[in-house]
Amino acid sequence: MTDSRCPDEEILTTYVNGHIDDDELAGIANHLIDCERCYATVATKARLLASRGQPATIAPPFALLPALLTGAVIALVLTVSLRLLLW
């Protein structure tokens, strides 16, 4: 039995395949942060696609975007700094 707040199996499959509409994308991505059951379902579906040679198209939860962007900016700054030092 699933929690009434959990998306159904079809929606999670659509999410993994990257065909989810923008209105549902944020809600599902953020739901996965708190719901281990749905996260496990999405991970299983993504592994299944990968085993078939098909990449899963999964958006990161919006709560992680600041951390991802910060990491990308730090990597860029370090790369530029290193190039300037070596130049």
pLDDT in tens, 1-42: 456 789 999 999 888 888 888 778 878 888 888 898 998 898
With contact defined as beta carbons under 8 Å apart, do 49 and 55 qualify? yes
Domain boundaries, the chain: 9-61
Q: Which residue has the higher pLDDT, 29 or 70?
A: 29
CA atoms within 13 A on the CB side of 76: 6
Predicted local distance difference test score (pLDDT) of residue 6: 93
pTM attached to this predicted model: 0.59
Q: pLDDT tens digits, residue range 40-55?
A: 898 888 888 888 887 6
Cα R_g (the chain), whole angstroms:
17
Q: Tokens in use for 37?
A: 């059951």
